[in-house]
Structure 1
Amino acid sequence: MTARPAPLRIARSALCRDGGAGRDSGNGRAAGPDGVQAWLDQAALRTHMEVTRVPLSGLAAWTRDPGTGDLGHRSGGFFTVRGLEVDHPLGPVPHWSQPIIDQPEVGILGVLVKEFGGVLHCLAQAKVEPGNLDGLQLAPTVQATYSNYTRVHRGLHVPYLGYFLDVSRHHVIADVCQSEHAAWFLRKRNRNMVVEVAGDVEAAPGFRWMTVGQLHRLLTRDDLVNMDLRSVLSCLPFAGPDVRAAFGARGDGFRAALTRSCDAAGRALHGDAEILRWIAETRARTAVRTRRAPLDGLRHWHSGDDAVTHESGLFFDVIGVEVEAAGREVGRWAQPMLRPHGTAVVAFVVTRIDGVLHALVHALAEPGSINGVELAPTVQCTPENHGHLPPSARPAFLDEVLRAGPDQIRFTARLSEEGGRLYHARGRYLIVETEPGGRWERPGYRWLTLRQLAALLRRGHYVNVQARSLVTCLFSLTGDTAVA
């Protein structure tokens, strides 16, 4: 099962963008884009979710603390919405307050993989979350919080969960704790797992075996591959020796530079030890202090029976929803959600240095980060939220990304963020190629290869969730032979 190195097996799967060896033999494998679409259409007929906006004061099973106004579930599980005060003396805004989701649990985001015809396939799930913009999205095999899979809700068991709770009989390809959106979640993390099975595993209704390449191809469709699946795919050990040869990319084009970036022989501008030292030094000198505060009484926020909103109308609201669903562990529930305003811009600027593609990462401090600083995309912001700030505080490189021409844009799609806690949150995800030059690297920014990013992803809490999504998007271009 593990005779060939994992990066080469993943490369072969990534090249199978139409399913490769996958001919549907009753085990839920899709042979091409038409097969995937037909399956999605059938899954949509079996799923149903109705989400209704309700006042926070009317949320069944949720209570507001009489002293603080914090929102919590009466079971003590799931999560709490509380207030947070943030001090960031070196940031563009040195102090602010905000609501934040406090969920001190480690969830499981797990993908089962199995070889069919010598090609790795991933077991994806068609899943609806209350915050999804367009309903059905592709999710990992298992996507569950601790409260969910321990059945605090007294609902049904999570399918395939046992493969991830007991891995003793299987081959673990990836297992690492990663952060979630640190602007909206307080130190939340999930266990990102990829587990390979050898025996027969039938695809239950709503699940389907697909190659890495098929999933990569679907990334270009707006709001289809969900954030959790993008995160797990980024943790695959896709970089290593001989990867460039496996993809067969030759010459001096973009795809050749990208595959060199995954290959161990691809020379990086900065050595691995230098990058680790830079991250450690940045974390040491970045002083971001947070302290809990009552949700009621946060400065510049209005906490009412209906919602919690910022006085400017910007940033996000805390709202309440009631949900009725078919095909879920629980058929009916209520919960608070964060509803962001505006569409974020999430972009990697990339360039070729000595024939090797590098991505410009930003060592970004966010209030909910476990380690204070993680590597983020070159640009990660909602432009409307910065309109009231002076020009000097405008996010670096935002204008360059927004002005990029079609000849520079290597990837673009509007992708949804986490739909279980965030309502209609999405970003415009971009990969923009530019010419190298000294103006790009500045304090807080460094050029990294994909191999270096893959190595940091194996450590956990080094690469934030938006950058992990972009790593998956960038790696998806390795299998696209149409990319020059």
Structure 2
Amino acid sequence: MNAPARLVPRSRAGVCERLARSAATAEGAHTATSGIPGWLDLHRRSGGTEIRRIPFAGLDHWSFAPDTGDLRHSSGRFFTIEGLHVARPEAEWQQPIIVQPEIGILGILAKEFDGVLHFLMQAKMEPGNPNLVQLSPTVQATRSNYTKAHGGAEVKYLEHFLAPARDRVLTDVLQSEHGAWFYRKRNRNMIVEVDGDVPVDDAFRWLTLGQIMELLRLDNVVNMDARTVLASAPVSSVAPRALSSDFDLLAWFTGERARHDVSARRMPLREVSGWQAGEYSVSRADGRFFRVVAVSVEGAGREVAGWTQPIIEPVAPGIVGFAHRVFDGVPHVLVHARVEGGFLDTVELAPTVQCVPENYVHLPAEHRPPFLDLMLNAPPDRIRYSVVHSEEGGRFLNAESRYLIVETDETTTPTQPPPGFHWVTPAQLNWLAGHSRYVNVQARTLLAALNIAAAAREPGTAAAGRVFPHDRGRPA
């Protein structure tokens, strides 16, 4: 006889409150926040890792395919560098692109200590990080990694994320990566709670969200994978008011996706127009945007001690920023419905500005990205957040951007923004980030900082009086 149906609440009771309590806890039960940068530096120095640029001929098990020119690994695993042709009614272009169809796991373990959720973070080396070692999720692994295609060691704590009990999962969502450099790449972003004993390896530390928030104020400390997982967590409670209802916001975004006619198709790397292959790089003839290079990694202290690989290197640092305004007491940020050739659904919500300014210095002002000058020339007293973060260090070399949140007004960011832009509350953005292919990875970095700070201000928490990010009397 079948058991009777049992209805359950549509939302998990208490999750937002527990996350808010963690966000309001400035010091954890195990590790002082002030000690984390030194701990990361210790792993950096003790690892003895050396990153060297090498010619493509020096790559081990990687080569350009004789028929297509695509850069591939002999195992057929990991990823490939191929060509991409993108066509829109107003423009078209060709470029190299990373193709990595497998879905990786970005997972953070959570556990309560003294009634406060802590998160198990890892000191992880990535060859593309400017400072090599940054704070990463508990598990950060592609399928090739955790199925040991490289013949390396087991991925620690992986078992918690392969088949977790549904009532222990705080967040679980497929998210995109950089649509300008990856072709339809997705990762499974997860936070899984445990209550049993978890032996802690020396390269891991339990931290509260409040501690992670403080570390998000420091340059190149919290890596991209940790930032995207935290942005997807249900941190924000539902804001009762906004300039647009949730229905109107979705209708606007659906309209943006529908109005953009974009065709993106893979093509042989050797046929990509405007790019040239040399001994050490595949790059544009004019030197703009990015290049594909090769590196050797030695003494990594990872699942494999050393390897070689191709990697993408941008030509200059980027600017990624949200314009921020308060309407009738409710904070909003200005999002951009951005087209990128590698997106699965053509358009995702991006920050107000997301670009490498050096790529546009030769253009007149009317052809530069909207609001770029607002970010570049923001007065110091208007800057609410300004931190240099690097992008995913496993595939991108020295890919740094300054992440900004800039307070604006009607004179600089109108209430009725130009086409393609829309005002949303951080709570609305957090709601959308709980679903796939709505919020891009750069916007999720800024959202992670906004989320944790907003959660720390929830009524009833110890930090309810804090105002992000003026709590130190200066711009963050």
TM-score, with normalisation over the residues of structure 1?
0.89
Residue 408 of structure 1 is matched in structure 2 by 382
Aligned 8 A contact 1:217 1:476 in 2: no
Give the Cα–Cα distance (whole angstroms) in 2 for the partners of residues 151 and 172 of structure 1: 25
Distance (Å, rounded) in 2 between the aligned partners of 1:57 and 1:89 = 39
2:368 is the alignment partner of 1:371: no
Q: Does 1:353 align with 2:362?
A: no
For the 8 Å contact 1:64–1:71, the answer to whether it is kept is yes
Q: 1:266–1:356: 8 Å Cα contact kept in structure 2?
A: no
Residue 294 (structure 1) aligned with residue 268 (structure 2) = yes
Contact 1:170 1:198 in 2 (8 A): no
State the distance in 2 between where 1:62 and 1:471 align: 37
Q: Deviations over 1:289-338 (max 9, x none)?
A: 11222212322111123210111111111001111134210011111000
Whether the 8 Å CA contact 1:170–1:197 is kept in 2: the answer is no
State how 1:108-119 maps to structure 2 within 5 Å.
108-119=105-116
How far apart in 2 are the matches of 1:5 and 1:35? 31
1:49-88 counterparts in 2 under 5 A? 49-88=49-88
- SS of aligned partner of 1:137: strand
For 1:245-264, what aligned pairs fall within 5 Å after superposition? 264=238
| Counterpart selection for 1:223 from 201, 220, 224 | 220
Amino acid at match of 2:227: R
Separation of aligned partners in 2, 1:440 and 1:432: 18
1:448 and 2:424 correspond: yes
Map residues 7-406 of structure 1 onto 2, 5 A cutoff: 7-19=16-28, 22=29, 29-30=30-31, 32-90=32-90, 94-168=91-165, 171-240=168-237, 264-406=238-380
Give the alignment partner of residue 438 of structure 1, picking from 407, 414, 417.
Answer: 414
- Structure 2: where are the runs of 5+ without partners? 1-10, 457-462, 472-476
**Cα distance, 1:58 vs structure 2:** 2.2
Partner of 2:447: 471
Match of 2:436 among 436, 448, 460: 460
Q: Secondary structure at the match of 2:381?
A: coil
Contact kept, 8 Å, 1:379 with 1:398, in 2: the verdict is: yes
Structure 1 149/413 Cα, relative in aligned 2: closer, same or farther at 3 Å? same
Q: Which letter maps to 2:128?
A: G
Kept after mapping to 1: 8 A contact 2:236/2:451: no
Does the CA-based 8 Å contact 1:359-1:449 persist in structure 2?
yes
One-letter code aligned to 2:54: V
Task: Report the Cα distance in structure 1 between the residues aligned to 2:223 and 2:48, rounded to whole angstroms.
Answer: 18
Q: Does structure 1 retain, via aligned residues, the 8 Å contact 2:37–2:221?
A: no
Alpha-carbon distance in 1 for matches of 2:148, 2:423? 44
State the one-letter code of the partner of 1:160: Y
Compute the displacement of 1:135 (Å): 1.7
> Which amino acid in the other structure matches residue 199 of structure 1?
G
- The alignment-based identity, stated in percent, is 49
The alignment of Structure 1 onto Structure 2 pairs a total of residues equal to 448
Residue type of the alignment partner of 1:16: T
Q: TM-score, normalised by structure 2?
A: 0.91
Separation in 2, partners of 1:318, 1:265: 44
Aligned counterpart, 1:426: 400
* Distance in structure 1 (CA, Å) of the matches to 2:19 and 2:382: 27
- Give 1:10's aligned amino acid: L
Question: Which residue is equivalent to 1:254?
Answer: none
Query: Does the 8 Å contact 1:226/1:416 carry over to 2?
Result: yes
| Aligned AA (2:44) | A
Cα RMSD (Å): 1.7
Which stretch of structure 1 is more off in the superposition, 465-474 or 437-446?
437-446
